[in-house]
Amino acid sequence: MTDDYRRVVLTRDGPALIQGPVELVTDDGTVVRSDRFVVALCQCRRSKTFPLCDTSHRKRRREA
Ligand code: FES
């Protein structure tokens, strides 16, 4: 991988992991910044800190 590409890793039944720092814009225009080395983005919409993952996805798994 070169520095020109930012890697996003999609996990099954969990967050998308993206290399930080990142600036996120939600569908209502809210801007969220994170300086973490790896940022976990919520894909399940259950997070109380959406768009960031708060591990709420662990409480209930999707049905197969
Ligand atoms: S993916 Fe972790 S709370 Fe949604």
Tokens of 49: 């800190």
Asked if residue 43 has its Cβ within 6 Å of ligand 1, the reply is yes
Cβ distance 19 to 37 under 8 Å? yes
pTM score over 0.85: no
pLDDT of residue 4: 83
| Mean pLDDT, residues 47-52 taken together | 96
Asked if residue 15 has its Cβ within 6 Å of ligand 1, the reply is yes
HEC string of 17-60? EEECCEEEECCCCCEEEECCCEEEECCCCCCCCCCECCCHHHHC
Please state, in angstroms and rounded to a whole number, the distance separating the CA atoms of residues 1 and 13. 26
pLDDT of residue 62: 56
Strand partners, 49: none
pLDDT, tens digit (0-9, with 9 covering 90-100), for 4-41: 888 999 999 999 999 999 999 999 999 999 999 999 99
